[in-house]
Structure 1
């Protein structure tokens, strides 16, 4: 009789990976909270790229820890595409606001900067708009990193002996 050990049946190994990924998410959330609170000059698009890369990366690690690769790859690809669409929307909004002189992370600060921008002369506004460039975002790096890197991390953990996730464990019953 042949049987398979599913990834989530090995609770100790799944716990190492899932709790590690969740700890990374919690640490990042704390970092983002304090970073937003004390940094008033960062571009909004930069934080959007960072945040929408960390979250799917950690979630994809959990996906790979819980299900086999032939289900995990499409699931992680779908999750990465969702976050990719979110990033594109946030970058477009951030660029439109920056063209109007509203930049920074806090809405109140953006409003004050927008009002100060409106008080500038037309020449100064045009010079500023010529200077503002959209945030660079390389989707052809983003998607493969979010799909392939977690897969490689789980493979590495498996090679280190932490767990047997991606391949069937077949044993013969005696």
Structure 2
């Protein structure tokens, strides 16, 4: 596995070693000991989530606060997405900065997102199955979000806004600066 740190600091792009032959492929998608050795981070994952979405679906930008803050390890099982993580840690030198990466079933890349980041993704393929491991349980009272098109963050979603499919809940999220549920 190759672990590449990103800016903003704290996220890692993970590229597993994929062994291919005439039968298909085999890969180790996660190994706690290798993860800790490469990143210096101990993250015991306690909840796995999976979603299925159509082209143009944008989910996010979501986070949880306080005792229910979550680190995530995300990957795509089928299809392709643009995955985005935004640093919302107060006092961070990279507050408000983001990392964006294409994750797909073909490239098998993963993104580790630490606590203190908002997360979202846009489906680029006809459909996508998205999988994520979380180091904390979901808690409705602790959830927060930031509007996907916050101009101070400046995410290029690579798709015309008219083609995006966004939940009503996600269209009324506040900007980073006016977020009521500050990290």
**What is the TM-score with the length of structure 1 in the denominator?**
0.25
- Which has the bigger relative contact order, CA under 8 A and spacing at least 6? 1
Asked which structure has the greater CA Rg, the reply is 1
Give the structure with the larger helix fraction.
Answer: 1
